[in-house]
Amino acid sequence: MFDLTGKVALITGGSRGLGRAIALAFARQGADVAVNFRGNAEAADEVVTEIHGLGRQAIAVQGDTSAGRDACEAIAKATLDEFGTVDILVNNAGITRDNLLMRMDADDWDSVLDTNLSGPFWMTRAIARPMLKARSGRIINMSSAAGRMGNPGQANYSAAKAGLIGLTKTTARELASRGITCNAIAPGLIETDLTAVMPEAATQALTTMTPLGYVGSVDDVAAAAVYFASDEARYVTGQVLGVDGGIVMGS
């Protein structure tokens, strides 16, 4: 069992789906959690209540990571003001705006890149400062199998998630000397609100492409996040872990 007792985690997009599962998994292992949300305060408060029920501290922090540097720094400040430190950052907030390459408009391109790539960059910048002073920290970026293999109809999403892998590796190289690790998780087909709206034919096609032959759960991804956040992963950095049922098999 990985022990996160005494650690403080900030999870963007932590009110639902993967973010909620990671927040609860961290709390079960002893961490206190700041649950960032953009608009659904009720869902965030529910996660906070669940964490309190596990005997850990938690707060809900409103903020739109896609809004840029000032918004991300405000999220970081609210967390630091409450807990005094941030040991773990999970850049999880993400959206999809799917369309074919030739039909995708500028707003759909920009909104996905702003949320899924620029947001993690600015959050990492904001949280890296206290981590550098502490000479310790864990940064976990939520990429995707789509960022490793591409996906029709997701030029914006695939590009952002591929860019996040590049950001992960660069962050890992730049911050390693201060004891900070940075890794990425690349989920495949996982049962969330995002995948629930996928056409059944698309879901079936991806399931067929997945060697294990079934849709993963949010708990599968949360388990990987717990590992990366733990002391047991202290010598692991710059890596991309596919939690994808085998749909992407790199050398």
Rounded to 10°, the helix 41-53/17-28 angle is 20
For residue 30 the two structure tokens come to 């002893």
Report the C-alpha dihedral over residues 118, 122, 127, 132, rounded to 10 degrees.
100
* Strands of the 8-11 sheet, one edge to the other: 58-62, 32-37, 8-11, 88-91, 137-142, 180-187, 240-243
Q: DSSP string covering 89-118, please?
A: EEE-------B-GGG--HHHHHHHHIIIII
- 227 part of the active site: no
* Closest C-alpha to 139, from 93, 95, 175, 166: 175
Annotated catalytic residue: which of 157, 214, 227, 235?
157
Contact of 191 with 218, CB cutoff 8 Å? yes
Q: For tokens 């408009």, what's the residue?
A: 105
Rounded to 10°, the helix 119-134/69-83 angle is 40
User: How many CA atoms lie within 13 Å of 190's alpha carbon, on the beta-carbon side?
Assistant: 25
Separation of alpha carbons 85 and 90, rounded Å: 14
Which residues are the active-site residues?
Answer: 157
